[in-house]
Chain A
Amino acid sequence: MHGPLIETLARQGVTRRTFMKYCATLASMMALPPAAGRAMAEAMAAAPSASKRPSVIWLPFQECTGCTESITRSHSPTLEGLIFDVISLDYQETLMAAAGHQAEEALHAAMKANEGKYLLIVDGSIPLGLDGAYSCIGGKSNLETLKEVAKGAAAIVAMGSCAAYGGLPRANPNPTGAVSVADIIKDKPIINIPGCPPIPVVMTGVLAHFLTFGSLPELDKLGRPKAFYGETIHDRCYRRPFYDQGKFAKTFDDEGARNGWCLFELGCKGPITHNACATVKWNGGTSWPVESGHGCLGCSEPDFWDGGGFYKALSMPANPLKMVAGAAAVGVAVGVATSVLNRGKKGAARAAHEKTTLADLEK
């Protein structure tokens, strides 16, 4: 297997074998057949020289650059980074050297040269309040820019919870009128990669899929790739056995917490959060939030910020035990009242009983 990518990797000290392993891992994580790993490797290795590489435009809107940080600071050596070697990242404010008019020129040149073929990545939400004045680039509101760039895109990747669902900017009371990409663009294929930030390998996996097969992977009803968002954190959590045994940490410094018991009662949102953290982990497989002792915040679910408190346990919002006595008293009262009423009715019927004679069988 030869090609510009293999040569570049070799210069960076990444062997061909490592690259193949990476592609195979990527394919298996996305639940693709084994042959897909090889297809991916071939497609990426055979990526043409710089001028012909698929164009990717990355638009940042109301965001914090966390998603960019996540994807660029992952593995070392940066296997995810190699993806950038097979694509032509024509516009990415944070990473590009150009600025001002030059940057805008690059954007328009890329749009013109690759019309209908480029992949658009969006991170950040789009503010609609005050005609979009809350976030402007080059004198244009994010709304205008998105509509303009989306027109010629082959597909759109909404990177991070803000682009996918509105994220933090959309949190109640949503002062900027933030919305997601899918709220605005209705005529292009959109893939949501939520997370605050998303897991790097999830981002690169989706990109690799697009590069290899020219299509988006299978999505769930919230537009997320099923391969990574098909199961809940809870179902894959290594602390799940403690949940099943009813062993819970009650505070962050009690014995349960030290024993690594389930964080459900400390507000873990794992049971309702679909993401791959529990299996893929973070920082090159070092750890992930639950492993470091904190419950899941549910950052890849829509409106996670307004979910009622990070430390509020999921299934006991009303503390039902507090109401047991009251509920029991009400139940008993209703029961007694019904019983008295029914007894009265039955008693009246019994009192009105007329002894049946043979004649009474006839009408």
Chain B
Amino acid sequence: MSASLEKGVRVLKEMIDAPIASYFSSCVHCGLCAEACLFYTETGDPKYTPIHKLEPMRRLYEQEYTLLGRLKKMVGLSKPVTDAELGQWQELVYNSCTLCGRCSAVCPMGNDIVYMVRKFREGMSAAGHAPVGIKGAVNRTVNIGSPMGVKLPAVKAQMKHVEEDHGIPIPMDVVGAEYLVMLSSMEIINFPEYLAAIAKIMKQAGRTWTLCSTAFEATNAGMQIGNSDLARVIVSRIVEGAEKLKVKTVISPECGHAYTALRWEGANLIGRPFTFKVQHIIEVLGEFQEKGLLKTEGFETDRLTFHDPCQLARRGGVIQPQRNLMNMVAKNFVEMPDAGYMNWCCGGGGGASAIEEGEELRLAAFKKKKSQLEAVKPDRLVTACANCRIVLEEGLEHYQMDIPVIGLTELIAEHIPDLAKSEGA
């Protein structure tokens, strides 16, 4: 119960680093980032201009670390940041930002605005201004082990189901396996097909893999709320698990922020390099495809399109593998406008989907995705992020669009020849 403005301000002072100083001082106020943000384009409200979402932090930077700002503060031209102001900014920093990174991509000065929002969240959470929904998710992740409250027995139950349905054993805690497969609770609860798909694919590729009983959950709500201390606690579990099992590679599930937390933030959070490699499942599948370890049969004939998860495509740079995989199993694969690097966010990433009071805004922002979909009129929508999938399904339902959403990994697995048959052949 110790969150306070003072603490928030102190954390922000700690967070403001050389990149942030150079970003703030090089911003030319051109407003291009506004047009890149779906919360601005779909509402037309200028408060959703990405760089404006950082205004309290910008002022603090100016007041604390620049000569002019100190003078302005001294003579009262620059007002100190208040608790009420931070409270007001909660909507801008959490509800209306999915950390999708489109603003960073368009900034002509090369300012990584998302980097700054992520750091601003550190101060916001320390000041007690994180949304209740994300706080709940963090609490459950730290205390129970998963943001949705999933515990090991639930995972074991799913393992059993898959083993029964597909006749493939699901390995757990196998020391020395090549791959450690992580899951997101969304996959454990809502999309168990994912686990089955992994089992089929790994078996066909002839690779050893395992789940870990102490680290099955990949999502990192600590990173989404913007608290490095808590994010470290969460990521450390995975690191310990992976090192205990001596795996070569940890596979991030179809979950955007889980991938970012592990792949890009993880080593920085624990303060040392990993002893293993981190790959997104799509990267692994792409590799299998290139090496000829992935063999599929048959094609989907209906019209399919692919929604690029922001953390995978834009922030992670994985763009081509998912397209190669799509073409492997789909005859009629069409691209939405802006697909790939500049794809529009589903509207619920970065923890936003956990914020109940942000739903109205989320649905308004979904109009962007709606217009993208209307441009190509697909029969089904494929993606590679369980959170995107949930948010897309909600949006599609709200706008009464009858487009089923599926995960790419399971789509691929569906085309892997039946094991019994292939063994027989």
A residues whose Cβ falls under 8 Å from a Cβ of B: 334, 338, 342, 345-346, 349-350, 352-363
Contact = CB atoms under 8 A, between A and B. Distances in A.
A345 B2 contact: no
B361 interface: no
Contacts of B1: 359-360, 362-363
Contact of B128 (A345, A354, A362): A362
Contact of A362 (B3, B66, B142, B227): B3
For the residues of A in contact with B, the DSSP-based class is helix
A160 B138 CA distance: 83
Of all A-B residue pairs in the complex, the 6 with the closest CB atoms, nearest first, are A363-B128, A349-B13, A349-B14, A356-B229, A363-B3, A342-B65
B143 interface: yes
Contacts of A363: 1, 3-4, 128
A350 to B, nearest CB: 5
Nearest to B139: A358
A358 B142 contact: yes
A353 B2 contact: no
Given A349-B14, A361-B138, A356 B126 contact: yes
Nearest to B227: A356
Nearest to B229: A356
Contacts of B13: 345-346, 349
A233 to B, nearest CB: 36
B7 interface: yes
Nearest to B67: A338
Contacts of A349: 10-11, 13-14
Interface string B325-341: 00000000000000000
Q: With a 10 A CB-CB cut-off, give which of A358, A359, A362 has the most chain B CB atoms.
A: A358
Contacts of B102: none
B16 interface: yes
Contacts of B3: 360-363
Contacts of B128: 361-363
Interface residues of B, number: 28
Contacts of B227: 356, 361
Nearest to B12: A349
A349 B4 CA distance: 15
A346 to B, nearest CB: 6
Nearest to B9: A349
Given A338-B67, A361-B3, 7 more contacts: A345-B65, A349-B11, A349-B14, A356-B229, A361-B128, A361-B130, A363-B3
B16 A346 contact: yes
A361 B65 contact: no
B11 A360 contact: no
Q: With a 10 A CB-CB cut-off, give which of A334, A356, A358, A362 has the most chain B CB atoms.
A: A356
Interface string B128-147: 10100001001100110000
Contacts of A345: 13, 64-65
A358 to B, nearest CB: 6
Contact of B125 (A334, A352, A361): A361
15 contacts: A338-B65, A342-B64, A346-B13, A352-B10, A353-B11, A356-B126, A358-B143, A359-B1, A359-B2, A360-B2, A360-B3, A361-B130, A361-B135, A362-B128, A362-B135
B128 to A, nearest CB: 4
A198 to B, nearest CB: 47
